[in-house]
Structure 1
Amino acid sequence: MIQVREHRHVRLFSPFSLVPLVLMIAVLISVSACDRAGVSGAELGRDHVAGPIGLIPPGEDGVGLPRPDPDGIVGESCSSNDPKFLCLGLKYVVYTDVVNTAIVSRKSAIGNVKLINKVWSQCKIGFQIDEFLAAPPADYGLQYQTANYAELDAIRNTFLDNSTFLVVTTGTWDRTGSLGNTGANAWTAMPNGPPYGVIMERPVGIFANIIAHELGHYLNIGHVSDNSSLMNPIIYTNSTRISRTDCTKARSAARYFWPKMIR
């Protein structure tokens, strides 16, 4: 099923929930990938394209005035003395469970961003947590276990702002709803229409490579067929390389679509 503006991950342990065509493609890719598993590392998750990238007019950068570093950055700032380095602000939201414990700790979120920055440093792009929010979903009129596709935009509309990239980790999804038919466990809105934001369920919220991959979609990058690439549809522990072309695309997208996120 094709959904506009979204990228989605195939569930790690439920590939047979996909429509037959997508399943056949995933199986063929998996067979070829098995021979190189020792090189690629362990599989973390899968993803397939489900929407077009945004269009940037030739010669347009859309560079705005960088927003000053906000007070209370969580973890390390990505600000740099290198004028070519792009530092981007994140709003990192995690749901709390029934005993009011964040399902991803502040310490884990900081660790994830460090690993994400290690990957994205090859493009001279970094991220910092401007805001970490442990959110009781019921307080916002949201379900802990997201069940339906329509809820994704409700989550985005609840937490997004116009000055940070939004990353949300919810509880494990309730597969009895419409999300159960998608075979996805992480969805990212592309920069071709609001609302924006990465939404993930709990099982994949701890994998920095998957978050880094989703931020790649946020930065207008599509998929490539290369197990070593961050933007490979099947993401492995060693899927970390970003091509020079994709680095250029990401930097252009940051300047054109997201100038208010630049620090």
Structure 2
Amino acid sequence: MPLVYAVAVLTPVGQRVEDSALGGVRETDLFGSDTALNVISVPVILLLVIVIAAVALARRRLAVGLAAGVVVLASAGTSTLVKRIAVRPEIAQSTTPNSFPSGHATIALASLFAVLMVTPRRFRPLVLLVGAAYAVFVANQTVVYGWHRVSDIVGACAVALFWLGIVRAVGPLVDRGERGDRDGRRGPRRLVTAVLVVSTGVTAAVGVAAVVVAFASGAAHDHDALLVAGRMASSTSVLLVVTLVWLADGMHHAAATTDTRGVPTPV
């Protein structure tokens, strides 16, 4: 995140490149509804934390639920704090105020990770697809509405990933095989993995193509193409982080259990 901030926010070139995409924002191009963005609010965040804790308690895994709540609340707090600290110097004649990182994208991703932590493994493929689609949609909406730049989405991904990593490293081990969690079928897991990998590749390819088109237009550049590139870059960032978590964090299958309590000893 510091590197993204340094390049995209603290340099004139970075600011001009990102702000050029905002030139493609037009009222006629906006999504018909901003419901996805309006859903994210303080009351909804608090309600989500309560529901997560309730689900974890029902599954007798309250410690995991509390850890999941930390992911959401700490990510939200960090995003708000960084936005106040990481000022945006006006070094490229920009009229758009500071927006690093995106609070909406941070909450969308952190909420997905938290819900996955308390969801039984056999249901995680469905939850992940729905949650990832929502997070991508939120990232796209913030860019299309001109609220955020690509670096803001990348920063949001970094914040949510940071707190998930902290919690998973020092938090409860219940979900990592020490007390076991019945695994789901391999088919849905493999399907989700394939969808994530293909989606990430496609969005990245479309983004690169849009950049080529934009800069092939000459000095003026094609702001519409740059806006598409910004949207695809934001989507790729979200999908890449979700894919990383899905595969590297062990959320896609259960590890071998080390808890042998209750297992008959062979005679």
The normalised TM-score by structure 2 is 0.28
Larger radius of gyration: 2
**Structure showing the higher helix proportion among its residues:** 2
The normalised TM-score by structure 1 is 0.28
**Structure showing the higher strand proportion among its residues:** 1
